[in-house]
Amino acid sequence: MEQMQCDLNGWRNSCGKDVAGLKTEFECSLVQTHCKNLQVQRFKQICNSDTYATSLRASGQTGINDGQSGGNGAASSISGSVAAILAGAIASLVMML
């Protein structure tokens, strides 16, 4: 849980709230039941639904002000975010093997 919290803090410091929320939701979905049961309070603290930023993601907002305006600014930001999440997910899966 400590490693996951450290990783998620890094995402929160360098990415928009929408991306950090998606990463948090994804990471929490990977935690095995026996780990959840060993650290119930810690899991609930890290993986509560408020940290997933689902309403922010549903509204299409990014949670950051990157100075881009118009057209494809948000689309390119989201594309980069999705790529970063996928890379993180693959890395997490590789570490679990």
- Coil, strand, or helix at residue 35? helix
- Residue-wise pLDDT tens digits, 52-79: 888 888 877 666 654 444 444 444 455 5
Rounded to whole angstroms, the Cα distance separating 31 from 47 reads 10
Rounded to whole angstroms, the Cα distance separating 42 from 24 reads 14
**What is residue 85's predicted lDDT score, i.e. its pLDDT?**
74
Rounded to whole angstroms, the Cα distance separating 23 from 3 reads 14
